[in-house]
Structure 1
């Protein structure tokens, strides 16, 4: 099982937001932003910050990818 944050990045594009500007706005560090870009695990705290910043639900940000 893996995670994928493509939904987050599509949402940012749709809203006309740059990744680095959004990260700074919601209080996410550059290391965490790099993890998101690499589809690595991040804390629930980070996901909640993102959802609050975008006024969305967690399923709008992260997708679980099941391995066969």
Structure 2
């Protein structure tokens, strides 16, 4: 099982927000956004900052998927 942030990228597209703007809105570093792009592990504080900036719930930006489902 692993985390997938595909929902975050879809939400950004729907809202017309790019990654740089997300960094500015949330105060999250570009490095952390890059980790999310690779479905990497990030601190829950990062997720909270993103959710606060986008006015959404954590379930709106991430989900847990099985390794088989991701392939």
For 2:15 and 2:53, the matched residues in 1 are separated by: 12
- Answer 1 or 2: which has greater helix percent: 2
Alignment of 1:1-68 (within 5 A): 1-67=1-67
Runs of 4+ in 1 over 2 A off after TM superposition: none
SS of aligned partner of 2:56: coil
RMSD of equivalent CA atoms? 1.0
Query: Structure 2: 5+ residue runs without aligned partners?
Result: none
SS of aligned partner of 1:59: helix
Query: Structure 1: 5+ residue runs without aligned partners?
Result: none
Q: TM (normalized to structure 2)?
A: 0.89
Q: TM (normalized to structure 1)?
A: 0.92
For 1:40 and 1:67, the matched residues in 2 are separated by: 14
Residues 8-58 of structure 1, C-alpha deviation per residue, up to 9 Å, x if partnerless? 010000000011111122111011011010000111000001111111111
